[in-house]
Amino acid sequence: MVKKQFNEQFEADLDDVDLSQDNKRVPTSVRRIWEEARAGGYGYIEVPLYDVEGYTEIRKITSDQRKAIIAYYIATHNGKSVSVRFLAEKLGTKERTIQYELRWLEKKGYIKREETMLSNGGHGPNKYYRAHEYEEGEFYDSHPTFAKIYGPSNTLGLRNWHWKDYKDIPNRENSTHTQQDKYENYLELTKKRRINDKKVLHNSVQARSPLVRKRGRSKKNKK
């Protein structure tokens, strides 16, 4: 009985969380400054949300997501030269990381590489090809384009928070990071994760063919 009451109260608190406000004693923006959380490395990118200058959102692209994005980019640019620098800039990581992801995709048989030569005899940018058609659920459920990655609505459900935003701040908790801050951080993080999970599920279903979606619903109704 106690657990049920707690869950009901928690759900009520979660519904009341207004993600457009940040009235915590230690605002998230200040916490990010202290922790030096910024875009431009480790898969973090900065996405403008509105026309207001400086209003941006930090998003995190994980290694698995990065592989899916690269594989989809190659499939939609089949046989064309792929710039490692371009992908690194778009995906918020180093060129060496992109090269590693390309080698992984090639080793697993998802893509094929063709070396090119420049007129002066040097090596040019490699051309890449999709090696085979991907099965349902294999990279392509959400069609991860750059437009979606940088879209203001974040339809891919990329992580739009930094873990350090919700951790204790060393040497600062006693004076500024209160218990209320921690509780509000937990509610905010939980709600963000739920919102992103729903986006991923929605895009996964919408990306499938109508036949597959219909077949899935029929099986569910039969149960």
The helix (H) or strand (E) run that includes residue 217 is helix 210-222
- Domains located in the chain, CATH noted: 63-130 (1.10.10.10)
Structure-token pair, residue 96 = 């060496």
pTM of the model as a whole: 0.72
Please give the pLDDT value at position 3: 43
Q: What is the DSSP letter of 132?
A: S
What DSSP state is assigned to residue 208? S
Q: Do residues 81 and 116 touch, judged by C-beta distance below 8 A? A: yes
- Phi, psi for residue 33 in degrees, rounded to 5: -65, -45
Compute the distance between CA of residue 168 and CA of residue 2 in angstroms, rounded to an integer.
28
The per-type count for the chain, helices as H runs and strands as E runs, is 8, 4
Structural tokens at position 27? 């605002």
What average pLDDT does range 199-204 have in this prediction? 78
- pLDDT tens digits along 12-67: 677 777 877 777 777 776 766 666 556 667 888 888 877 556 677 888 898 989 99
Name which of 7-16, 21-30, 117-126 the model is least confident about: 7-16
Residues in CB range of 210: below 8 A, 6 or more apart: none
What's the burial of 57, exposed, middle or buried (CB within 10 Å: 0-12/13-18/19+)?
A: middle
Q: Which helix (H) or strand (E) holds 134?
A: none
Mean pLDDT lowest for which of 7-16, 81-90, 115-124? 7-16
CA torsion through residues 145, 149, 155, 159, sign = positive
- 121 vs 153, residue with greater confidence: 153
At 38, list the tokens.
């910024």
Q: How far apart are CA 97 and CA 109, in angstroms?
A: 19
